Copies of this chain bind each other. A is one copy, B any other.
């Protein structure tokens, strides 16, 4: 991709598309937690600071609707539910990596 060839308007439009998908405080943290193997509801809840079960449940539904997260139900007793990320979600990795970098530098900068 050659972002330098795009017009300002196009860049704004593409960034808005991305913002729309990752909007809010919780979607990326949840996807990060799941991608690192926290596949059960309670595990995800523990991995994401300050999230309530109600919010997590709502966000997982939205992520599932947008095909970023998949929900598998296993026919055990009691029933086992596992969450995994889709390949579509994995394509966000470069975005997330740059956000981790920036957040890390930001903390160093703020601490100075």
Question: Which A residues form the contact surface with B (CB < 8 A)?
Answer: 1, 3, 6, 8-9, 11-21, 23, 25, 28-29, 32-33, 36, 38, 47-49, 88, 91-92, 94-107, 109
Q: How many copies does the complex hold?
A: 2
- A107 CB to nearest B CB, Å: 6
| Neighbouring B residues of A38 by C-beta, 8 Å | 8
Contact B17 A36 (CB under 8 A): no
Residue of B nearest to A33 (CB): B8
CA distance A38 to B12 in the complex (A): 13
Contact A100 B15 (CB under 8 A): yes
User: A95 with B92: in contact, given A15-B28, A33-B8 (CB under 8 Å)?
Assistant: no
